[in-house]
Structure 1
Amino acid sequence: MPSPGLRARVEAIPGTPLPHGILGGCASVLDVTDDEIHQLNGVEWMSLGCCPVRDTDWCADESPGEESPGPAPQKEFCSPQTEHAVPHTIYAGAVCSTMGWSYAEAVEQVKATLELGEQRAIEAAFWRDNLAMNAVDLTPADGPVNLAAGVAALEGCLAETYGGIGVLHVPAGAAALLGCCNILSLATGTPSTLAGNCAIIGAGYSYENSGPGGVPAEPGTAWLYISGPVIVRRGPVDVIPDRAGPSIDRRYNDQRVLAERTVVVSTTCSICAINVELCP
């Protein structure tokens, strides 16, 4: 048995972000360049794929008769809509005694913290300010449905309003149940459904777990969302302050360092939501 004494300091236990979160394989992650930095103020675009494609009968009625078949059916036109996404700034801050850590060690700490936790923060912000604020609630009047029925309703909603490959947004707390029921598969390397829609499994989604309008889920239930494709635009990591001197709070002899970055998360067309029961 070692003799009692001062504990030895070792390296911190490293962490790995969850592999199927919003920064995983489902979303397109774009690290903006200096020439694109203005995109971090928010972006807007003309929607693509939200207008329906319809069929028509091109054969005119040539059968003889005394009455005219009337004018040919009129084709319908759809006006694409302007969509937009707003920025969020995520951050990690560290405070430590100037007697214990150097400025360089504090910078290393906040950068590592941000790298590990940024995905969760991005998911929470996107769920709270985009998904929950813009979704159509498909939950029946009788209340939550089982997971398979919930995913089926969401995919039907997406197919009717978009038709392309979309994204299922799943709180991490519901992921295991989706797997045991073969609703999600990892055959392609990312979680996806039989219909081909990708799934983001988010710790930040679990943290929020709220329905349209931000109403919290009842115990034993979870909210699932579906949307069009997702794009995450990320700015560079900024360390504040950028040198040791201003980081010191001389009133308490503490050192405070912040690492932050701005992100803009966008999706397109309709967003649908449904409340499901968390039971196998």
Structure 2
Amino acid sequence: MEWLALGCCPARDWPDPCEDPVPGDPTAKEFCRPGTEVATPITVYAGAECSAPGFSYEDARTQALAALTLGEQHAIEAGFMRTKLSVDATDLTPAEGPLAIAQGVAVLEGCLAESYGGVGTLHIPAGVAALLGCCNVLREDPATGALTTLAGNCAVIGAGYSFLNLGPGGVPADPGAAWLYITGPVVVRRGPVDVIPDRNRASASVNIRNNDRRVLAERSVVVGTTCTVCAVQVMACP
């Protein structure tokens, strides 16, 4: 999926040439060509399997759909980290090693602010989320329950990010550390859920060789963001 990036070109101030001469051509203003953003579809799925006697097609279908409903956010986060965040991010971790978590958030927000003027999104592994309360890095909107930073950026706390914990280039975090990311706003487009086999072919769910029943529930998801992806490694301890 492709689209033109929106809002990634900078706005600049224009000095008064009479008071603050502009080097070169004082009438030449800079123009920016929008870039093309790309999102790779992610397929998330859950399957149910059990011995067919006593485990009906409807039982298997219910199990698969429940597993997908409860676990798809985890799978989407892991897929987004694997196909987008770890692929496109600029690593801001200093040569000295991982930063304290509040320092890491500050570095990421500075990176985003340099290229995008809107509200961005922090992507935070669930395993370090509690540490953000130590320094009041995040605050909760009492009306919506949404988490934001003091700078106004949104925060997504994800078990899928903890599960992979990958940095730029697919590099795992150091022991006792975690990768944080920041992007522009995120839009998630979910396709319909497909159950395989469907009710019209319920008998096809049974493997006649071992008499096991299998039913799969899956859907395709596209997670889009824009402008900037920055990463930093932080210490997973206070």
Band of TM-score, shorter chain: over 0.9
Helix, strand or coil for the counterpart of 2:82? helix
Partner of 1:244: 202
- The match for 1:206 among 135, 155, 162 is 162
- The match for 2:3 among 45, 48, 54 is 45
Partner of 1:30: none
Partner of 2:121: 167
Percent of aligned pairs with the same amino acid: 65
Contact 2:43 2:219 in 1 (8 A): yes
Partner of 2:44: 90
Query: 1:71 deviation in Å?
Result: 4.7
Partner of 2:232: 274
Contact 2:40 2:83 in 1 (8 A): no
Query: 1:187 deviation in Å?
Result: 2.9
Name the aligned partner's letter for residue 198 of structure 1. C
- Superposition pairs for residues 1-280 of structure 1, below 5 Å? 43-57=1-15, 59-61=16-18, 71-188=25-142, 189-242=145-198, 243-280=201-238
- Distance in 2 (CA, whole Å) between partners of 1:181 and 1:134 is 29
Relative to the length of structure 1, the TM-score reads: 0.80
Helix, strand or coil for the counterpart of 2:148? coil
- Distance in 2 (CA, whole Å) between partners of 1:187 and 1:262 is 31
CA deviation string 1:35-79 (max 9, x = no partner): xxxxxxxx211111111000102x4429xxxxxx98524101111
| Two-structure CA RMSD over aligned residues (Å) | 1.4
Query: 1:135 deviation in Å?
Result: 0.3
Larger Rg: 1
Helix, strand or coil for the counterpart of 2:147? coil
CA deviation string 1:75-125 (max 9, x = no partner): 011110111111111111111111121111110110001000000000000
Helix, strand or coil for the counterpart of 2:2? strand
Query: 1:180 deviation in Å?
Result: 2.2
Alpha carbons of structure 1 residues 99 and 154: separation in structure 2 relative to 1, 3 Å: same
Name the aligned partner's letter for residue 209 of structure 2. R
- Distance in 1 (CA, whole Å) between partners of 2:64 and 2:117 is 42
- Distance in 1 (CA, whole Å) between partners of 2:226 and 2:113 is 13
Helix, strand or coil for the counterpart of 2:209? coil
